[in-house]
Structure 1
Amino acid sequence: MEIIQEVKYDETMKTTVEPYLKQRCISGYTDSYDAVGKLHVLRYQADMPKGVIVICHGFTESYPKYDELVYYFLQAGYHVWLPEHCGHGWSYRLTKDSSLVHIDTWKRYIRDFLKICQMAKKEYPNLPLNLFAHSMGGAIGAIAVSWKPEWFQHVILNSPMIRPHTANVPWGISASVSTLQCLIGKAEHYVLGQKPYEASETFETSASTSKPRFTRFNERRKATKEMQTCAASYSWLSNAAKMNTYLMRHAWKKYTAPMLIIQAEQDDYVWTSQIQKFADKIKKHGIAECEYLYLSETKHETYSSNDETMDKYINKILAFLQK
């Protein structure tokens, strides 16, 4: 697969990728699993499909962040479904604060996501279903697969949030404090140190190692309120801790499909040691085949890396999907 080069990145995205995606995209809404709100779902159609890939996006992300990756998957012959999680993008929210990611229970994420996967399976019953899941979506997707292992042909966990980083506060304290804050009625409050969107992120402080890739999304985010989620509520953090416990104690035992777990060298958003421990459990005691890809000179958003890394990264993913 030929990778879009950084030197012509913005031009190529505007003149080639965006028109290509627009022609193949169906954007719509469906009820959440409990009909509390509407999930925004994008469905992209490949010309000669050999499978379906469902993308499970990360914390504070929205669908435009995956334009380049969707383009590669379509070029390789995969339909792509991309739902936006509760509290993200154009999907329903449980809080009026557009900057805040808030959830009542982690199981909402899983049940919403599995509903979309079931819809994809029903629409394309003869095509294999594959998962690409990043960061928070890695936790959601990894649990979803453990609930329905028979649905998935291949599973890719990209910088998965087995455990989120909590700045300089030890994990045990962060998890305990967030649970306490929920108990005293502050579930919807900002986690200490986090604040509303200010459009202040720079390339140097970002999770990307490709300035053109970072800039394209960041400029659109500045202009679009639906893309400006940037902070966690105490309830979100408390539920992230519950997902961590479930993943490490239960989920890893259930997998049957081949798995590819990808780790960035420098990751300020998730604990890489927890990713390694999770993969080791699967390799040593699980049922599924598990590959581990370590990407040097990368940050958390491995899909937003320099050209050399992107070439290695994308072609590894596509080769894995062919296994």
Structure 2
Amino acid sequence: MKREKLHKDKQTFKVKSIPEDEYNEKMLEGVEPLLNQIKKHGYFARTTDKNIYYEKYINPKAKNSIVICHGFTENAEKYKEMIYYFYRENCSVFVLDHQGHGKSYRMVEDYSVTHVEKFTDYVEDLRMFMKIIVEPSSKKIPIILYAHSMGGAIGATYLEKYPSDFNRAIFSSPMFEIDSGNVPTWMGRIMANFKILTGHKTDYLFVHSTFNEKERFEDSCAISKVRYDYFFNKRLRNKEYQNYCASYSWFKQSVLATRKLLKPANLARIRIPVIVFQAEKDTVVKARGLYRFVKGVKHARFVFVPESKHEIFMATSEIITPYLNKIFDFIH
């Protein structure tokens, strides 16, 4: 496996990210007003009364369509900066809130809990999004997947089941193997199975808790404090953004899904070019899963990102700028 390294020094970059010292001003006075002017949003229902929220940003000069597949406990709102970069570089952008997240329907009343009955439900929601919203709006331009963390597992499973829907795929710290910390995954599965069998499938996972309004930046997956604070303040003001923990069902379904997607026969079904970014200081997903994925997918590139935590798009500008340039080089 050939591993590229993201270099941030001594290069002239075509695409620049927003510097930290200008971040709040640029987002509040430039980025958000622009995106609000062009945003179209709404809901679609895969089944009765189960509405999935989405946003689309149509660029009249678009050469590509980007579909953002967000991660665990996230939502479309967290990706405003990335949406701006994609739009600025002549892309139309589409993003949905996965079920149980953001403004989409939930099966539990507690907004802290992230719950799903079957991991494939995420995949089928994305499939309907593609058919109802993305493809009709994209016409004949290429459609590219940008998937982070849990969204990576959703996206990879999607590519294995529907290999021809996307032209390329970008995986940023994808959840191909969960890092369960001090609790071995096999032990977590035993505990999850017991809880599910005894009627507690929507309970908080053993190491998780309710939304923490005093969460420390140091404990987050970001390394840019200004980016972290910008979105965390939105979470404090809106309960729909306060997903914080997994249910036992979510954990079981996610472990099963990642094991299945890494089977060689399934990986061989992915035939489009893909690029996978690994963050050096990632404590959420295991590198082993990324290596197995890249080894099993024929047209896969692997990029190592020094110094970054799990959320590369929430790193400092000196990391995000070369990250963006690597993404757009791959797209074009």
TM-score exceeds 0.5: yes
How many Å separate the matches in 2 of 1:268 and 1:85?
Answer: 23
Partner residue of 2:285?
270
Deviation at 1:200, TM superposition (A): 2.3
Between the aligned partners of 1:13 and 1:251, the Cα distance in structure 2 is 41
Alignment of 1:68-217 (within 5 A): 68-119=81-132, 120-217=134-231
**Offset of 1:167 from its aligned partner?**
2.6
Q: Which has the higher contact order (CA 8 A, sep 6+)?
A: 2
- 1:142–1:251 contact (8 Å) kept in structure 2: no
Structure 1 residue 301 corresponds to structure 2 residue 311: yes
The residue type equivalent to 1:93 in the other structure is R
User: Partners in 2 of 1:151 and 1:265 — Cα distance?
Assistant: 31
**Aligned equivalents of 2:177, 2:213: Cα separation in 1:** 26
- Give the SS at the match of 1:104: coil
Check conservation: 1:130, 1:155, Cα contact below 8 A: yes
- Assess if the C-alpha contact under 8 Å between 2:17 and 2:321 holds in 1: yes
Structure 2-normalised TM-score? 0.93
Matched, 1:310 2:316: no
What SS does structure 1 have at the residue aligned with 2:178?
Answer: coil
Q: TM-score, normalised by structure 1?
A: 0.95
In structure 2, distance between residues paired with 1:144 and 1:204: 34
Per the alignment, in what secondary structure is the counterpart of residue 150 of structure 1?
coil
Aligned equivalents of 1:159, 1:123: Cα separation in 2 = 28
> SS in structure 1 opposite 2:92?
strand
CA distance in 2 between counterparts of 1:195 and 1:318 reads: 38
How many Å separate the matches in 1 of 2:291 and 2:49? 36
Equivalent residues of 2:75, 2:96 under 8 A apart? no
Uncovered stretches (5+) of structure 2, i.e. residues with no partner: 1-14
Shift of 1:112: 0.3
8 Å contact 1:163–1:240 — kept in the other structure?
A: no
Alignment of 1:252-271 (within 5 A): 252-271=267-286
Which residue of the partner structure matches residue 66 of structure 2?
53
Would the alpha carbon gap of residues 81 and 232 (structure 1) be closer, same or farther in structure 2, given more than 3 Å must change?
same
Secondary structure of 2:54's match? strand
Deviations 1:25-49 (A, max 9, x none): 0011110x23351000000111301
Q: Which residue number corresponds to residue 34 of structure 2?
A: 20
- Give the alignment partner of residue 35 of structure 1, picking from 42, 48, 62: 48
Deviation at 1:62, TM superposition (A): 1.4
Q: Tell me the number of residue pairs that the alignment of Structure 1 and Structure 2 aligns.
A: 316
* Residue number in structure 1 paired with 2:3: none
Is residue 163–residue 270 contact of structure 1 (8 Å, CA) maintained in 2? yes
Aligned partner of residue 149 in structure 1, secondary structure:
coil
In the alignment, does 2:300 pair up with 1:290? yes
User: Alpha-carbon deviation of 1:166?
Assistant: 1.5
1:320 aligned residue? 330
Matches of 1:114 and 1:201, distance apart in 2: 35
Instruction: Tell me the secondary structure at the aligned position of residue 26 of structure 2.
Output: helix
The answer for the alignment partner of 2:10 in structure 1 is none
Look up the SS of the partner of 1:212 in the other structure.
Answer: helix
Deviation at 1:122, TM superposition (A): 2.5
Instruction: Give the Cα separation in 2 of the matches to 1:72 and 1:66.
Output: 10
Cα-Cα RMSD: 1.1
Unpaired runs of at least 5, structure 1: 283-287
1:25 & 1:54 partners in 2: Cα distance? Answer: 14
Deviation at 1:199, TM superposition (A): 1.2
How much has 1:268 moved relative to structure 2? 1.4
Equivalent-residue separation in structure 1 for 2:193 and 2:215 (angstroms): 29
Counterpart Cα distance in 2 of 1:238 and 1:299: 25
State whether residues 132 and 156 of structure 1, in contact with CA within 8 Å, keep that contact through their aligned partners in structure 2. yes
